[in-house]
Homo-oligomer: A and B are copies of this chain.
Amino acid sequence: MNFKQKIYFFSQTKTDGDQSMPEILGGKGANLAEMCKLGLPVPPGFTLATRLCNDFLKNKKLSLSLKKNIKKHVKKTEGVVGASFGGKNPLLLSVRSGAPVSMPGMMETVLNVGLTSKTIPHLVVRSGSERFAYDSYRRLIMMYADVVMEKALGLNKSNTEVRIKMERLLKEMKKKKKYKDDSSVSAKHWKELSFKYLALIKKDFGVEFPDDPYSQLFGAIEAVFSSWNGKRAQEYRAFENIPDAMGTAVSVQAMVFGNLGEGCGTGVAFTRNPSTGENKFYGEWLQNAQGEDVVAGIRTPHPILAESGLKNSLEKTMPAAFLELDRTRKQLEKHFDDMQDIEFTIQDHKLWMLQTRTGKRTGIAAVKIATDMVGERLISKKTALSRVRPNQIYESLLKNIEPDSLIGAKALGTGLPAGPGASCGAVVFSAEKAEELGRAGKSVILVREETSPEDIRGMHYSDGILTSRGGLTSHAALVARGWGKSCVVGCQTLHINKNMLSGSVGDTKIKEGDWITLSGSTGEIFKGRLPLFQNPLSRSGPLNELLSWADHTRKLKIRTNADTPEDCKKALGFGAEGIGLCRTEHMFFDEKRVRGFRKMILSDDKKSRVSHLANLLPFQTKDFYNILKVMESKPVTVRLLDPPLHEFITIQDKEVELLALDLKQTKSSVLARIEFLKESNPMLGHRGCRLGISYPEITEMQARALLGAGMKLKKEGFNPNIEIMIPLVSHINEFVNQKNVVDGVYKELLGARGVSLKYRVGTMIEVPRACLIAEEIAQHADFFSFGTNDLTQTTFGFSRDDTGSFFESYFESNILPGDPFEKIDKDGVGRLMSIAVSGGRKTKKTISIGICGEHGGEPDSIRFCSELGLNYVSCSPFRIPIARLAAAQVEL
Residues on A lying within 8 angstroms of B by beta carbon are 450, 495, 672, 677, 679-686, 688, 690-691, 693-694, 728, 730-731, 733-734, 737, 766-769, 772-773, 790, 793-799, 801-802, 805-806, 809-810, 813-816, 825, 827-829, 831-832
Contact = CB atoms under 8 A, between A and B. Distances in A.
B733 A799 contact: no
Contact of A832 (B677, B681, B768): B768
Contact of A684 (B802, B815, B825): B802
Contact of A795 (B450, B681, B694, B767): B767
A773 B672 CA distance: 45
A344 B798 CA distance: 64
A805 B694 contact: yes
A684 B685 contact: no
A772 B682 contact: no
Nearest to A809: B694
Given A767-B795, A790-B797, A815 B731 contact: yes
Given A694-B806, A773-B828, A767 B790 contact: no
Instruction: Identify the interface centre among A450, A681, A682: most chain B CB within 10 Å of its CB.
Output: A681
B693 A767 contact: no
Contact of A801 (B681, B772, B797, B825): B681
Contacts of A686: 802, 805-806
Contact of A682 (B495, B677, B680): B680
B682 A684 contact: no
A768 B815 CA distance: 18
A733 B794 contact: no
A796 B767 CA distance: 6
Copy total for this chain: 2
A314 to B, nearest CB: 51
B769 A813 contact: no
A683 B797 CA distance: 8
A730 B827 CA distance: 11
A735 to B, nearest CB: 10
Contacts of A813: 693, 733, 737
Contacts of A688: 797
A766 B737 CA distance: 29
A681 B802 contact: yes
B805 A685 contact: yes
Q: Taking chain A's interface residues, is the majority helix, strand, or loop, or is none over half, making it mixed?
A: helix
A641 to B, nearest CB: 14
Contacts of A768: 768, 794-795, 828, 832
A576 to B, nearest CB: 29
Contacts of A693: 806, 809-810, 813, 815
A505 to B, nearest CB: 15
A288 B801 CA distance: 74
B797 A682 contact: no
Given A677-B805, A681-B799, A772-B828, 11 more contacts: A680-B683, A683-B797, A684-B684, A693-B813, A693-B815, A694-B805, A694-B809, A737-B815, A767-B797, A768-B794, A769-B828
A647 to B, nearest CB: 11
Contacts of A810: 690, 693
Contacts of A806: 686, 690-691, 693-694
Nearest to A776: B827
A686 B809 CA distance: 11
A177 to B, nearest CB: 45
A816 B731 contact: yes
A685 B802 contact: yes
B684 A733 contact: no
A798 B684 contact: yes
12 contacts: A679-B799, A683-B797, A684-B684, A693-B809, A693-B815, A694-B806, A694-B809, A730-B828, A733-B813, A737-B813, A766-B797, A772-B828
7 nearest A-B residue pairs (beta carbon): A684-B799, A685-B802, A681-B799, A769-B828, A767-B797, A680-B801, A768-B768
A766 to B, nearest CB: 8
A790 B768 CA distance: 13
Contacts of A694: 805-806, 809
A795 B769 contact: yes
Nearest to A688: B797
Nearest to A474: B680
Contacts of A790: 797
A559 B186 CA distance: 83
A685 B799 contact: yes
A773 B814 CA distance: 18
Contacts of A690: 806, 810
A737 B832 CA distance: 25
Contacts of A794: 684, 767-768, 794-795, 797
Nearest to A827: B773
Nearest to A694: B809
B793 A684 contact: yes
B728 A797 contact: yes
Nearest to A831: B772
A812 to B, nearest CB: 10
A648 to B, nearest CB: 15
A10 to B, nearest CB: 43
A730 B802 contact: no
Instruction: Identify the interface centre among A806, A814, A831: most chain B CB within 10 Å of its CB.
Output: A806
Contacts of A766: 797
A300 to B, nearest CB: 44
A639 to B, nearest CB: 15
Contacts of A796: 730-731, 767, 769
A731 B813 CA distance: 13
A769 B728 CA distance: 18
A816 B773 CA distance: 14
B802 A680 contact: yes
B679 A805 contact: yes
Contacts of A825: 769
B767 A802 contact: no
Contacts of A832: 768, 772
A702 to B, nearest CB: 18
Given A693-B810, A769-B796, A795-B794, A682 B730 contact: no
